[in-house]
């Protein structure tokens, strides 16, 4: 056989095989249409009863406390300090010393009467003694007005410094106007010598009203002092060196006593 025949046989055989293979394949199954599901209708349910709307309860009122807020204080504007002046040296001012009341005396021996005070010029040189009851002194109508305040002590006392030699004097006299409603007891005391020994006369009774020339005997032996145990049984010693004259008003009386024309006589 020729080659040409051989190729022809091969081609026929191949066609045959191909045809045989096509017949053996089963026909593709056609997809079945989807089954339609029967619709199941549900029975209608009864409608739920409509509830009546409840009345809304009124809301409780809440008490609100409002705190008071105090605003903070406003800051004060800064004060402008004045410009500092140059420091000047301190000037020393002389402070006047308190004037010491003039002392009584010295007095002339040839004069029969020594007027200590008549208060006509309005000057007062007497002072209240702090160891006795308080009193107030002033000049009124040419007299020394002594306003008595009473107190815990049994007397009030006023005094004046002195520089006296009264060794030749026999008595001290003065006028007294008692403006209280009671009798008062009045005494005179002297502080004498280098140790200022205190000697006091016996008291004189001064009735309410005007009492002229109340007299105290300077030569008496009825002075009292610490040396006698404050008994009236001594003479006045160192009468030539009297340093202080004291007038005493006894009692706790409150009121006014006026003194005038205080004098020493021979």
Q: Is the peptide bond before 106 cis (omega within 30 degrees of 0)?
A: yes
Predicted pLDDT at 157: 97
Residue 162 has pLDDT above 70, yes or no: yes
The mean pLDDT of 107-117, rounded to a whole number, is: 88
Main-chain dihedrals φ then ψ at residue 3, nearest 5 degrees: -65, -25
- CATH for 114-261 (3.90.420.10, 3.40.50.620, 3.40.50.300, 2.60.120.430): 2.60.120.430
Least confident of 17-31, 169-183, 250-264: 17-31
Residue 40 has pLDDT above 50, yes or no: no
In the chain, where the domains are located: 114-261
Q: What is the longest distance spanned by two Cα atoms in the chain?
A: 217
Predicted pLDDT at 46: 53
Predicted pLDDT at 101: 74
Q: Where are the beta strands (DSSP E) in 86-241?
A: 113-117, 127-128, 135-140, 143-149, 155-164, 171-178, 184-192, 197-200, 204-206, 209-217
Instruction: Give the C-alpha separation, 175 to 258, whole Å.
Output: 8
- SS3 at position 244: strand
- DSSP β-bridge partners for residue 223: 234
Q: Which of 257, 82, 80 is nearest to 176 (CA)?
A: 257
Residue 185 has pLDDT above 50, yes or no: yes
Higher-confidence residue of 228 and 4: namely 228
pLDDT tens, residue by residue, 204-233: 999 999 999 999 999 999 999 999 999 999
Decide if 109 contacts 168 (C-beta within 8 A). yes
Predicted pLDDT at 2: 59
Tokens 């002092």 locate to: 225
Instruction: Give the C-alpha separation, 78 to 221, whole Å.
Output: 82
Residue 123 has pLDDT above 50, yes or no: yes
Instruction: Give the C-alpha separation, 251 to 133, whole Å.
Output: 10
Least confident of 59-73, 104-118, 145-159, 171-185: 59-73
Summary mean pLDDT of the chain: 81
Decide if 219 contacts 170 (C-beta within 8 A). yes
Predicted pLDDT at 68: 63
Instruction: Give the C-alpha separation, 156 to 150, whole Å.
Output: 8
Decide if 130 contacts 186 (C-beta within 8 A). no
H helix or E strand, kind and range, residue 5: helix 3-24
Residue 65 has pLDDT above 70, yes or no: no
């Amino acid at each position: 056989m020729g080659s040409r025949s051989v190729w022809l046989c091969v081609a026929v055989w191949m066609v045959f095989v191909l045809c045989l293979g096509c017949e053996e394949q089963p026909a593709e199954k056609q997809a079945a249409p989807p089954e339609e599901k029967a619709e199941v209708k549900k029975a209608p349910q009864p409608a739920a009863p409509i509830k009546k709307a409840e009345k809304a309860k009124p809301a409780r009122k809440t008490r609100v406390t409002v705190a008071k807020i105090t605003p903070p204080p406003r800051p004060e504007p800064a004060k402008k300090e004045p410009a500092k002046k140059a420091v000047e040296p301190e000037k020393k001012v002389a402070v006047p010393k308190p004037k010491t009341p003039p002392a009584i005396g010295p007095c002339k021996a040839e004069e029969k009467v020594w007027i200590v005070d008549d208060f006509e010029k309005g000057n007062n040189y007497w002072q209240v003694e702090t160891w006795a009851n308080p009193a107030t002194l002033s000049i009124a109508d040419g007299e020394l007005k002594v306003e008595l305040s009473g107190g815990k002590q049994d007397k009030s006392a006023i005094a004046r410094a002195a520089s006296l030699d009264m060794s030749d004097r026999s008595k001290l006299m003065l006028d007294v106007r008692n403006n209280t409603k009671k009798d008062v007891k009045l005494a005179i005391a002297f502080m004498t010598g280098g140790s200022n020994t205190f000697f006091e006369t016996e008291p004189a009774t001064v009735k309410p009203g005007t009492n002229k020339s109340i007299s105290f005997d300077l030569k008496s032996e009825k002075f009292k002092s610490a040396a006698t145990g404050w008994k009236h049984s001594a003479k006045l010693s160192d009468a030539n060196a009297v340093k202080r004259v004291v007038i005493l008003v006894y009692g706790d009386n409150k009121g006014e006593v006026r003194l005038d024309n205080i004098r020493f006589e021979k």
